[in-house]
């Protein structure tokens, strides 16, 4: 798998991690157990007991520690065994890997690189349920496909015209015109005006044509943060196609945060939230939006999983990029560069 390790991967929604209920997830092929203590702290370890490889996620929380419930080895949050029932001596090798884990923007984030190098400043600025301005709904989908294919999908919205003709109903604009694309330090930014459309079916409040703005950042390791809104007809031209102010939106201001987490070689979990700004919608609108999102993301899943099956059956799969692939190419180039830097660092250290 070709993914950046020195990055924060979404492991779960905050609300899905119950107190003292160990939670298991595989990220980049590594089995991880995450737990929330009664005191409220979070810990993450390799989900594999050093004794006989039972999953620690079947274990029992004891204060800040986690006990393997097969033969009772007790682990501290650093992954060291601190108790072996019936044995005085604890070998120095009695430890499992420990991961840095942080809760922010309603997500549980795990740093897949060296825990000592974990930098919370690199957590993408998603919008969570604690944000005062947005009314959000959320969901997740498991994919039988490589995470990179989902990233590629989110980096090329020309598919909206075809894949989402029945759900979002976005029209031809996405396939016919290119967004403005800007390289960021850890991602790619997409900006576009859609002039004179009637807008996305999920957030449409009137059939009046208007100018719609849409802008998103796609950030390492695979996090999409997007806002869009409607403006009076003619705004795009008046602003010379530059970014408008959110305060000037007349309708449909909304935000979505999405994260793609590579689990195994060909499995991934896709997390998403979406909803209107409080000035532009309410719980009812959020529920409508989530219904349309559910339909749309199921459309992506059908296409991407089918694409994965064809790739798997192809002897040496080659792609032929089009002009819409620019964002895909830039992002994958950035991943390649960061992975090379990490590998070079690892070689130097060795
Ligand atoms: S496998 Fe964990 S204590 Fe034996
Ligand atoms: Fe899509």
Scanning the structure block, which residue is given the tokens 């006989």?
52
Is residue 179 within 8 A of residue 192, CB to CB? The reply is: yes
Burial string for 205-225 (b: 16+ CB within 10 Å, else e) reads eeeeebbbbbbbbbbbbbbbb
Between strands 81-83 and 74-75, the pairing is: antiparallel
Answer yes or no: is the C-beta of 51 below 6 A from any ligand 1 atom: yes
CA 71 to ligand 1 centroid distance, Å: 4
Instruction: Give residue-wise pLDDT tens across range 3-20.
Output: 999 999 999 999 999 999
Q: Which band of pLDDT confidence, cut at 50, 70 and 90, is reported for residue 300?
A: very high
CA 289 to ligand 2 centroid distance, Å: 14
Which ligand sits nearest to residue 52's alpha carbon?
Answer: 1
Q: What is the pLDDT of residue 279?
A: 95
Task: Tell the residue nearest (CA) to atom 4 of ligand 1.
Answer: 71
Overall average pLDDT of the 140-158 stretch: 98
Mean pLDDT of the chain: 96
Residue 25 has pLDDT above 90, yes or no: yes
- For ligand 2, a single-atom ion, the residues with CB < 5 A are 300
CA 167 to ligand 2 centroid distance, Å: 10
337 by DSSP, 3-state: which? helix
Spatial separation of the C-alpha atoms in residues 170 and 174, rounded to whole Å: 8
| Peptide bond just before 221 cis, omega within 30 deg | yes
Task: Tally the residues of the chain.
Answer: 350
Handedness of CA 222, 223, 229, 233 (dihedral sign): negative
Instruction: Give residue-wise pLDDT tens across range 38-91.
Output: 999 999 999 999 999 999 999 999 999 999 999 999 999 999 999 999 999 999
Is residue 144 within 8 A of residue 269, CB to CB? The reply is: no
How many helices and strands, by DSSP H and E, does the chain display?
6, 17
Task: Tell the residue nearest (CA) to atom 1 of ligand 1.
Answer: 52
CA 275, distance to chain mean position in Å, is 17
Ligand 1 pocket: which of 31, 48, 49, 74 to mutate (most atoms within 8 A of CB): 49
Calculated CA dihedral for residues 286, 272, 162, 192, nearest 10 degrees: 80
Answer yes or no: is the C-beta of 56 below 6 A from any ligand 1 atom: no
Residue 203 has pLDDT above 80, yes or no: no
CA 47 to ligand 1 centroid distance, Å: 11
Scanning the structure block, which residue is given the tokens 């330090």?
185
Which of 18-22, 170-174, 320-324 is the least confident region? 170-174
Answer yes or no: is the C-beta of 54 below 6 A from any ligand 1 atom: yes
Which ligand sits nearest to residue 67's alpha carbon?
Answer: 1
Which ligand sits nearest to residue 258's alpha carbon?
Answer: 2
């Amino acid at each position: 798998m070709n993914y950046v390790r020195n990055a924060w991967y979404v492991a779960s929604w905050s609300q899905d991690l119950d107190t003292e209920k160990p939670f298991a997830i595989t990220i980049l092929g590594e089995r991880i157990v995450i737990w929330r203590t009664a005191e409220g702290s979070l810990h993450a370890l390799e989900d594999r007991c050093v004794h006989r490889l039972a999953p620690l996620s079947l274990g029992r929380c004891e204060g800040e520690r986690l006990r393997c419930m097969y033969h009772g080895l007790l682990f501290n949050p650093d992954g060291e065994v601190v108790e072996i029932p019936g044995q005085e001596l604890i070998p120095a090798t009695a430890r499992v890997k420990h991961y840095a884990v942080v809760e922010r923007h309603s997500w549980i984030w795990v740093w897949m690189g060296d825990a000592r190098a974990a930098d919370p400043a690199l957590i993408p600025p998603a919008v969570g349920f604690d944000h005062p301005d947005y009314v959000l709904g959320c969901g997740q989908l498991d994919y039988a496909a490589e995470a990179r294919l989902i990233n590629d999908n989110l980096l090329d919205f020309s598919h909206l015209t075809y894949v989402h003709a029945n759900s979002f109903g976005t029209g031809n604009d996405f396939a016919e015109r290119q967004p403005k694309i800007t390289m960021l330090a850890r991602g790619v930014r997409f900006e576009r005006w859609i002039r004179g459309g009637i807008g996305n079916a999920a957030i449409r409040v009137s059939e009046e044509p208007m100018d719609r703005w849409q802008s998103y950042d796609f950030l390492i390791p695979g996090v999409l943060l997007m806002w869009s809104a409607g403006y009076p007809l003619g705004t795009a031209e008046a602003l010379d196609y530059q970014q408008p102010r959110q305060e000037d939106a007349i309708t449909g201001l909304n935000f979505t945060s999405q994260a793609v987490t590579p689990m195994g070689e060909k499995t991934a979990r896709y997390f998403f939230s979406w909803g209107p700004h409080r000035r532009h919608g309410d719980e009812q609108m959020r529920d409508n939006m989530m219904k349309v999102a559910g339909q749309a993301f199921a459309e992506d899943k059908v296409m991407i999983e089918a694409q994965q099956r064809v790739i798997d059956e192809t002897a040496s799969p080659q792609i032929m990029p089009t002009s819409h692939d620019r964002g895909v190419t830039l992002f994958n180039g950035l991943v390649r560069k960061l992975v090379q830097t990490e590998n070079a660092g690892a070689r130097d250290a060795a």
